[in-house]
């Protein structure tokens, strides 16, 4: 059984449209250089994405604190990560880089604060 | 009397202020918002800093690098300060500022404008129809969602496939709109490929190319839009109209340098970039007035915008020291065949080793040869692996190449 997928190569500004056939082995088509083939294989086997979002913050200048996954999480976990952040609430002050959620959605990746926020009335 | 006033506390203004302060000048930063960082504070996605720091940072993280640097220096920062007017006197400028405390006067020998760009609105792209609530620019939506946690609607339509629209589409999808539809007039997304992939294709968000919004429908609130197909010239094709129901419309139809203020001062404006005409040190055509970042032209990467801030520090230094090795007539750098914009547009100084030139291709081309041409003769060529209009290109031009010339054209062969 093989799965088909189309992705846009992001290794250079050309942005080739790659066709991936994912089965026992991965076949990449549509690339115009070796980088594209390498990228296509990675995308087929374990695509990862950094997830940016926000969480509720109490007592700060804005009602939302920007957060992100500290590194890429498997792409099929992105929506689970977002769902887990929905109920999260933190209280100002908050330091930049503070861990907001550990091991989010069982990915072994932490969610961190993108910026600091002081207490503000 | 200040040596330099930097107007704007975004990344370019911050980088310019600290680089100029490092040279020993008295600098002040004026910012109209109540915090530093500019637009980046709402750009919570990652991908900033890959050129300058070799790291993929979020907007707030990238901004913080520059905020911290300014905070560590002795550069004063005036927040909630709006520059009402600027008067050019014989040997200095007089700025009138408005703050919560009142109106103030600041005198300075030079000014660096770092006031960025603004978004185009529905009237600039001629979308007709009613004027209901629920029509937003993409940047406004980004601010609402990322700073305030407010969604613009439950089933928005986004018009325009540029970077801001792509990124906003992903935020809206992830933050839970019921449905989302993107239309754009180009054949393919006009934003960077990585944004098209990571924001739209990753999540199978529906989109349609060669399509735009003809009319907005709805009385008090947006009830729908009339979509229409367009041809390669973006002309609407009669008979292809269809109504699409939605509760909000988000415009991602381009950015434009915020150059009205600097034009009032007498600076020449480039018809193509819509920003001020600048020399190789980012001086405008008004002596002592400089311009950096997205005010000069729209940069795709903040990393490139910040480069102009480092270069301007050299120009301000030359101006304040009164170093006058200017050519009698500046050499013009002009966009030729298959090139949309070029900055800087003027080469003023004779000394210096090389000039960093940015250009935007007007064409998509593989293995392109970019030529510098003078009086019909090719004087230098550069090879580029792949050119496309969505990606601003950079070349380094040796300064002595300009000697004895009046005008140099950049074109794609």
> Locate tokens 């070029």: which residue?
B342
What is the pLDDT at residue A8? 85
Distance (Å, whole) CA B296 – CA B275: 5
Q: Are strands B156-159 and B135-137 parallel, antiparallel or unpaired?
A: unpaired
Has residue B140 got a pLDDT over 70? yes
Average pLDDT over every residue of B232-246: 96
* Separation of alpha carbons B332 and B271, rounded Å: 14
Count of C-beta atoms within a 10 Å radius of residue B264? 10
Which residues of chain A have a CB within 8 Å of the CB of B46?
50, 52, 68
Which residues lie closer than 8 Å to A108 by C-beta, 6 or more apart?
none
Partner A contacted by B50 (CB < 8 A): no
What pLDDT is stored for residue A16 in this prediction?
83
Mean pLDDT along residues A26-53? 88
Give B286's DSSP letter.
Answer: S
Mean pLDDT of B378-405: 92
Q: Is A118 helix (H, G, I), strand (E, B) or coil?
A: coil
| pTM attached to this predicted model | 0.92
Count of all residues that appear for chain A in the document: 121
Contact, B172 vs B151, CB < 8 A? Answer: yes
The pLDDT value recorded for residue B125 is 85
Of A118, A88, A87, A86, residue with least CA distance to A100: A88
Q: Answer whether the bond into residue B299 is a cis peptide, omega within 30°.
A: no
pLDDT at B325: 66
Residue A13 has what pLDDT? 63
Whether chain B has a CB inside 8 Å of the CB on A95: the answer is: no
Q: How far apart are CA B292 and CA B13, in angstroms?
A: 7
Q: Is A96 on the interface with B (CB under 8 A)?
A: yes
Residues B38 and B63 sit within 8 Å (Cβ to Cβ): yes
Inter-chain CB proximity A49 and B202 less than 8 Å: yes
At B324 the pLDDT is: 67
Using a CB-CB cut-off of 8 Å, the residues of chain A touching B41 are 115
Cα A56 to the chain's mean position, in Å? 19
Cβ atoms within 10 Å, residue B58: 24
pLDDT (mean) for B355-371 = 94
ipTM for the whole complex: 0.90
Confidence of residue B363 (pLDDT cuts 50, 70, 90): very high
**Where do the domains of chain A lie?**
3-45, 52-113
pLDDT, tens only, A54-110:
999 999 999 999 999 999 999 899 999 999 999 999 999 999 999 999 999 999 999
Question: Do B146 and A64 lie within an 8 Å CB cutoff?
Answer: yes
What's the average model confidence in pLDDT over B105-116? Answer: 98
Mean per-residue pLDDT over chain B, rounded: 94
Select from B41, B193, B387 the Cβ nearest to the Cβ of A8. B193
Interface contact flag, B386 A12, Cβ < 8 Å: yes
B366 contacts A13? CB cut-off 8 A: no
Q: Which of B98, B93, B103 is nearest to B79 (CA)?
A: B98
| Beta-carbon separation of B198 and A13 below 8 A | no
CA distance B284 to B203: 44
Residues listed for chain B: 413
Quote the CA–CA distance of B230 and B234 in Å, as a whole number: 5
Q: Which CATH number fits domain A52-113: 3.30.9.10, 3.40.50.300, 3.20.10.10, 3.10.530.10?
A: 3.10.530.10
Q: Is the pLDDT of residue B389 over 90?
A: no
């Amino acid at each position: 059984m093989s799965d088909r997928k189309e992705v846009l190569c992001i290794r250079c500004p050309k942005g080739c449209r790659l066709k991936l056939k994912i089965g026992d082995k991965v076949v990449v088509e549509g690339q115009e250089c070796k980088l594209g083939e390498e990228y296509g294989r990675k995308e087929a086997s374990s695509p990862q994405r950094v997830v940016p979002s926000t969480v509720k913050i109490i007592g700060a200048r804005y009602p939302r604190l920007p957060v992100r996954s500290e590194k890429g999480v498997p792409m099929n976990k992105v929506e689970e990560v977002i769902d887990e952040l929905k109920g999260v609430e933190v209280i100002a002050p908050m330091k930049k880089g503070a861990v907001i959620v550990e091991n989010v959605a069982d990915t072994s990746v932490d969610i961190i604060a993108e910026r600091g926020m002081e207490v503000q009335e | 009397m200040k040596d330099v006033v930097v107007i704007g506390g975004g990344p370019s203004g911050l980088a310019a202020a600290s680089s100029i302060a490092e040279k020993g000048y008295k600098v002040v930063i004026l910012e109209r918002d109540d915090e530093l960082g500019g637009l980046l504070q709402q750009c919570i996605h990652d991908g900033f800093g890959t050129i300058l720091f070799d790291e993929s940072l979020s907007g707030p993280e990238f901004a913080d690098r520059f905020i911290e640097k300014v905070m560590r220096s002795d550069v004063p920062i005036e927040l909630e300060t709006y520059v009402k007017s600027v008067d050019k006197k014989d040997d200095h400028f007089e700025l009138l500022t408005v703050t919560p405390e009142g109106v103030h006067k600041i005198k300075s020998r030079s000014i660096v404008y770092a006031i960025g760009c603004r978004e185009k609105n529905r009237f600039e792209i001629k979308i007709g129809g009613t004027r209901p609530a629920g029509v937003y620019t993409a940047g406004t939506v980004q601010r609402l969602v990322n700073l305030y946690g407010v969604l613009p609607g439950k089933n928005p339509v986004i018009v325009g496939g540029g970077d801001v629209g792509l990124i906003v589409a992903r935020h809206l999808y992830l933050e839970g709109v019921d449905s989302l539809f993107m239309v754009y007039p180009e054949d393919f997304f006009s934003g960077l490929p990585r944004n098209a992939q990571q924001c739209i294709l990753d999540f199978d968000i529906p989109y349609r190319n060669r399509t735009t919004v003809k009319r907005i429908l709805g009385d008090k609130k947006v009830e729908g839009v009339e979509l229409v197909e367009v041809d390669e010239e973006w002309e609407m094709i009669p008979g292809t109209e269809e109504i699409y129901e939605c509760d909000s419309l988000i415009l991602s139809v381009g950015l434009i340098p915020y150059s009205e203020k600097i034009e009032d001062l007498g600076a020449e404006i480039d018809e193509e970039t819509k920003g001020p005409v600048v020399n190789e040190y980012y001086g405008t055509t008004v002596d002592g007035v400089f311009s950096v970042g997205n005010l000069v032209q729209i940069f795709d990467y903040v990393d490139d915008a910040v480069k102009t801030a480092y270069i301007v520090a050299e120009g301000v230094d030359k101006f304040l020291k009164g170093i006058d090795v200017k050519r009698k007539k500046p050499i013009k750098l002009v966009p030729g065949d298959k090139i949309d914009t070029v900055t800087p547009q003027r080469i003023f100084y004779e000394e210096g080793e090389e000039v960093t030139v940015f250009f935007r291709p007007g064409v998509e081309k593989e293995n392109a040869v970019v030529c510098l041409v003078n009086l019909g003769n090719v004087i230098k060529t550069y090879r580029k692996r792949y050119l496309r209009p969505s990606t601003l290109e950079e070349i380094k031009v040796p300064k002595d190449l300009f000697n004895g010339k009046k005008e140099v054209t950049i074109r794609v062969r």
